[in-house]
Amino acid sequence: MGRLMQFSLPPTSQVPLVLRREVRAERETARKKLKEELKLKRKEARRSLADELRAGRKKLRTLEWNINNAEAVAERMVEERAREKRKEWSVRLIGAKDRLRKLRLAYTKESLVQMNMAMPVIKEASFGRLYPDAPPPTVTPTKEGIGIPEAPGIYFLWDGGIVEYVGQSTRLNRRLRLGSHHVLREDHLISFLFFDAIDLTWAENFYIGALRARLNYGALATHKDANDSP
């Protein structure tokens, strides 16, 4: 009996040592596993932090660029809006000037027609034709012919209350412009009467003879050398 117990059972002094070795091995394995997990987590955390840091730096650079260029961008926007407004108002101004010119010409023509109708008859020309007095000057000469209509008629150039020159034109506005007329000066004043184109020569001859305009006669008769045509 004693022999059987001696050879079948391990000594009691060896059991705690085996357990201690197993526990120690398990602890070492757990420690290594935990160490690897911590290493991986630290690596992932560093990678994530680096990504966030790069993104933050990129945002910071973008913000700095926006701050540095905000003034220039604002100036460009203001200039673009100003150009658009100038263009818009330029178009409006051109349209307004054109409408004003048409209204002025229409008013001038209408008023002069009424003036012609109200003019007293001074003489009777050949063939029974009646001609009104030369109207008083109402227009100052300009390079654009402002205040003078596009119509056929007889014009009178005044200087100090005296008619200096009488002429004809089928388009008064084109003819009576500074720089395009051989007699017209800045100090002249202009008046005119409307006639049909077919009657212009008769009417011009009548007024030249009736008014004795000094630039139409004698050594000063410039119409002899210059073609007073439309």
Tens of pLDDT along 85-95?
A: 888 888 888 88
Per-residue confidence (pLDDT) for residue 126, from 0 to 100: 41
Q: In what order do the strands lie in the sheet with 153-159?
A: 162-169, 153-159, 189-194
CATH number of the domain within which 159 lies: 3.40.1440.10
Any domain includes 197 = yes
Q: What is the pLDDT of residue 107?
A: 67
Helix (H) or strand (E) holding 162: strand 162-169
Closest C-alpha to 169, from 187, 145, 138: 145
Confidence (pLDDT) at 69: 79
Confirm whether 96 is domain-assigned.
no
Which phi-psi region, left, alpha or beta, contains residue 96 (left: φ > 0; alpha: ψ -120 to 50)?
alpha
Q: Which residue has the tokens 């209204």?
A: 103
Give per-residue pLDDT as tens, 92-115: 888 888 888 778 766 655 655 555
Per-residue tokens: 219: 């050594």
* Residue 230 within a domain: no
Q: Does any domain span residue 4?
A: no
Do 158 and 191 contact (CB within 8 A), yes or no?
yes
Give the domain extent around 160: 121-224
Residue 38 lies in a domain: no
35: left (phi over 0), alpha (psi -120 to 50) or beta: alpha
Residue bearing tokens 């002429």: 167
Extract the residue ranges of the chain whose pLDDT is less than 70: 1-15, 105-129, 218-230
Number of domains the chain contains: 1
Cβ atoms of 176 and 168 closer than 8 Å: no
> Quick check: is 159 in a domain?
yes
Distances from the Cα of 123 to the Cα of 14, 21, 119, 129, 130, angstroms: 161, 151, 12, 9, 6
Classify residue 146 as exposed, middle or buried by CB count within 10 Å of its CB (0-12, 13-18, 19+): middle
Looking at residue 230, its pLDDT comes to: 46
13 domain-assigned? no
Which H/E stretch holds residue 168?
strand 162-169
**In contact, 167 and 215? CB cutoff 8 Å:** no
pLDDT for res 136: 92
The confidence score (pLDDT) of residue 73 equals 78
pLDDT at 18: 72
| C-beta separation of 158 from 190 below 8 A | yes
DSSP bridge partners of 156: 166, 191
Give the number of other CB atoms < 10 A from CB of residue 158.
19
User: Does residue 201 sit within a domain?
Assistant: yes
In three-state secondary structure terms, 208 is helix
**What is the pLDDT at residue 227?**
42
Contacts for 187 with CB less than 8 Å, ≥ 6 apart: 159
User: In the prediction, which pLDDT does 121 show?
Assistant: 44
Report pLDDT for 177: 93
